[in-house]
Amino acid sequence: MNVLLRDVEVEGRRSDVLLAGGRVAAIGAGLPAPVGAEVVAGGGGALLPGLHDHHLHLLSMAAALDSVDCGPGAVRSPEALAEALRRAPGGPGGWVRGTGYHEDVAGPLDRHLLDRLVPDRPVRVQHRSGALWMVNSRGLGEVAHVLDQSPDVERDAHGRPTGRLWRYDARLRPALADAPPDLARVGSALAAYGITGVTDATPDLDPATVHLLGRAVADGALPQRVVLLGAPTGTELPPGLTAGPRKLLLRDHDLPPYDELAAVIADEHAAGRPVAVHCVTRDSLLLTLTVLDEVGPLPGDRVEHAAVVPEGIAEWMARLGVRVVTQPDFLRTRGGTYRREVDPDDLPHLYPYAGLLGAGVPTCASSDAPFGVADPWQVIASAIDRTTADGDILGAGERVPPATALAGYLCAHDEPGGTPRRVFPGAPADLVLLRTPLDQALAEPDAGAVAAVWRCGRRLDTTGPGIAGHRP
C-alpha cells in the first residue's frame, strides 16, 4: 500500500512525503494522494531515517524479558535479592534466571551465597558485564556435565567449582532446557523506539542461533534489518541477515597472546572481512591497536566500547582508520560504581566521544542492550550531558551536541560514525516520524516523541513493551 505523509519536517522544511514500493517515492508540498493510499497527518513532526543500534544482543534481550532484574536499581541488599529470586516463577527445568547483578547489591556471588538465598531451586545470575554467570549448588548439579577444566570455571583450593563461570554462555546452553526466546517482543519494543535496524554484537554464533535469527526476520518477528558481528566467516546466511565485521571478544582477565590475536585478525582480513574488537580496558585497546598497526588495518575495522582511551591514543586510532561504537549511557547507569572502582588514572578517559570525533575517529553511540538501556533517546541524552544517576558529570569535555548524538543512530550499519542517512526520493522507506519538529525533540530526548515507524514502507507496531535493559 502507498502511504502519503502530510506536513512532515524533512531536513528543516515542511513537506509531504509519498512512500511507494518500499521506498520514498516523492517529496514536495501538496503532493496528491494516490488512489487507495493511506494518508498520515504529520502535524509538522520530523521525519527521519529509521534509527540503527550498532551494538546490542538480541537473544540476551529476549531472555532478559523473562529474567529477574538483580541490578542495583531493582534490589539493594542481600535480603531484597533473596526475595526477588524466591518470588520468581521457575522457567524451563525449574531454573530461576537473574540478570544485571553487580557486587553493590550483595558482594561477590558464588554457589555458597546463592545457596543461602535460594537453596531449593536451580539459580543462575548473570553479572551486568555479561561476562560472568553465578550458579548455586542445585544449578551446578544440573550443568556439571558441561563444565570443562579451563580457567573459565572458577574453582576453590580443593578443585571444586565455586559456581562462577566466565564467558560460558555457549557452553552452558546444551545443559539448559530454555524455551525458544520471544524475539517478537524484542522486535516490537525496538520499533517503539524508532529502531529499524540493529547490529547484533554477540560473538561466535552457532548455526542453530543464526537459523533462529533468520527465521525471526523471515516471519516478521524481528521487523528490523539485522547485521551479525558473530556470524562465522565464509558461511552463507539466511535471507534478511547480513554479516558485519567479525566480533573478537578479548577476555579482560585473560588477554590472548599477541601472535594469536595477530593471526586471527590477519586471517579475517585475508578473507576480506574487517574485525570488531571488544576493548573495555586500556590494555585490550593498546594490544588491539598494536596488532592492527603490524597486520595492517582494513576499512571497516572497529573497536567496541573503547571504554578507556588514554591521552594521545585517539590520534593513533585515527591514523589506523578504526571506528568506535561506544556506550555513553553507561556513565548514567554505572557512573557511581566507576567512581569507586575504576583506576583514578582511567577516570578522565572513560567512554570518550567528543575527543574521538575531534581526533578524526568515526564514533557513534549504541546501547549494548540488555547490558545497557535499549532506549536510543536515553542514550542520546546521556551523550549530551554525561550525568550519572547521582548527578555527577563524568568527562564534561566529552559531551557532544544533540544532533551529533542522533547522527550516530542515523549512519549506515557498515559505517558507524559516518555520514548520517537522509530522507530523499529513492531512499529506503525505513523511517521514523516524530510528534514534534526535530529541534524540539532533541531539546529533551524522549522515546515518547516517536509517533510512527515504517520499515520498507510497512508501518510497524509501536505498542510493544518498553524493554530497556536494567535502569539504575
Cβ–Cβ < 8 Å for 448, 423: no
For residue 348, is the peptide bond before it cis, meaning its omega torsion is within 30 degrees of 0?
Answer: no
Question: What's the CA gap between 193 and 219, in Å, rounded?
Answer: 21
Closest CA to 49 of 395, 453, 447, 333: 453
Which fold, 66-175?
Diaminopimelate Epimerase; Chain A, domain 1 (3.10.310)
Residue type, 363: T
For CATH 3.20.20.140, list the domain ranges present in the chain.
51-58+182-417
- C-alpha cell at position 29: 508540498
Closest CA to 102 of 347, 335, 366: 335
pLDDT confidence band for 465 (50 / 70 / 90) = low
Q: What are phi and psi of 247, to 5 degrees?
A: -75, 130
- C-alpha cell at position 376: 536510543
Residue 82: other Cβ atoms inside 10 A: 17
Per-residue pLDDT at 122: 95
Question: What's the CA gap between 197 and 366, in Å, rounded?
Answer: 12
User: Which helix (H) or strand (E) element contains residue 26?
Assistant: strand 23-28
Per-residue pLDDT at 90: 78
Per-residue pLDDT at 181: 84
Q: What confidence tens digit (pLDDT) does each residue in 192-204 have? A: 999 999 999 999 9
- C-alpha cell at position 17: 512525503
Beta strands in 102-251 (DSSP E): 123-127, 132-135, 153-155, 161-166, 195-200, 225-228, 241-243, 246-249
For 102, 154, 166, the CA distances from 133, given in Å and listed in that order, are: 12, 11, 6
Q: What confidence tens digit (pLDDT) does each residue in 44-86 have? A: 999 999 999 999 999 999 988 888 999 888 898 999 999 999 9
| Lowest mean pLDDT segment, chosen from 83-92, 309-318, 376-385 | 83-92
pLDDT confidence band for 469 (50 / 70 / 90) = very low
What letter would DSSP give residue 179?
A: P
Question: What's the CA gap between 471 and 314, in Å, rounded?
Answer: 30
The mean of the pLDDT values for the chain is 94
Superfamily of domain 51-58+182-417: Metal-dependent hydrolases (3.20.20.140)
463 vs 89, higher pLDDT? 89
Query: Burial level of 291, CB count in 10 A (0-12/13-18/19+)?
Result: buried
Q: What confidence tens digit (pLDDT) does each residue in 162-172 have? A: 999 998 988 99
pTM: 0.90
pLDDT confidence band for 471 (50 / 70 / 90) = very low
139 three-class SS: helix
Q: What confidence tens digit (pLDDT) does each residue in 286-308 have? A: 999 999 999 999 999 999 999 99
For 68, 80, 260, the CA distances from 304, given in Å and listed in that order, are: 27, 34, 19
Residue 186: other Cβ atoms inside 10 A: 30
Beta strands in 255-321 (DSSP E): 275-279, 302-305
Per-residue pLDDT at 470: 36
Q: What confidence tens digit (pLDDT) does each residue in 253-292 have? A: 789 999 999 999 999 999 999 999 999 999 999 999 999 9
- Using the predicted structure, report yes or no on whether residue 173 has a pLDDT greater than 90: no
Per-residue pLDDT at 92: 78
Per-residue pLDDT at 462: 83
DSSP letter string over 48-105?
EEPEEEEEE-HHHHHHHTTSEE-STTT--SHHHHHHHHHHSPP-GGG-EEEEEE-HHH
Per-residue pLDDT at 45: 98
Helix, strand, coil shares of the chain, percent, nearest 5, are 35, 25, 45
399 three-class SS: coil
- Using the predicted structure, report yes or no on whether residue 422 has a pLDDT greater than 50: yes
Question: What's the CA gap between 210 and 80, in Å, rounded?
Answer: 37
- Averaged pLDDT for residues 94-114: 93
Cell 555458597, located at residue: 112
Beta strands in 176-289 (DSSP E): 195-200, 225-228, 241-243, 246-249, 275-279
Sheet strand arrangement including 246-249? 246-249, 275-279, 302-305, 323-326, 363-365
Per-residue pLDDT at 412: 97
For CATH 3.10.310.70, list the domain ranges present in the chain.
66-175
Question: What's the CA gap between 353 and 282, in Å, rounded?
Answer: 16
Give me the percent of the chain exceeding a pLDDT of 70: 98
- Averaged pLDDT for residues 7-27: 97
Q: What confidence tens digit (pLDDT) does each residue in 316-363 have? A: 999 999 999 999 999 999 998 899 889 898 998 999 999 999 999 999
Per-residue pLDDT at 130: 85
pLDDT confidence band for 464 (50 / 70 / 90) = low
Per-residue pLDDT at 123: 95
471 three-class SS: coil
Question: What's the CA gap between 281 and 270, in Å, rounded?
Answer: 27
Closest CA to 233 of 186, 265, 193: 265
Closest CA to 120 of 149, 144, 88: 88
Q: What confidence tens digit (pLDDT) does each residue in 207-224 have? A: 999 999 999 999 999 999
Query: Burial level of 247, CB count in 10 A (0-12/13-18/19+)?
Result: buried
How far is Cα of residue 338 from the mean position of the Cα atoms in its chain?
20
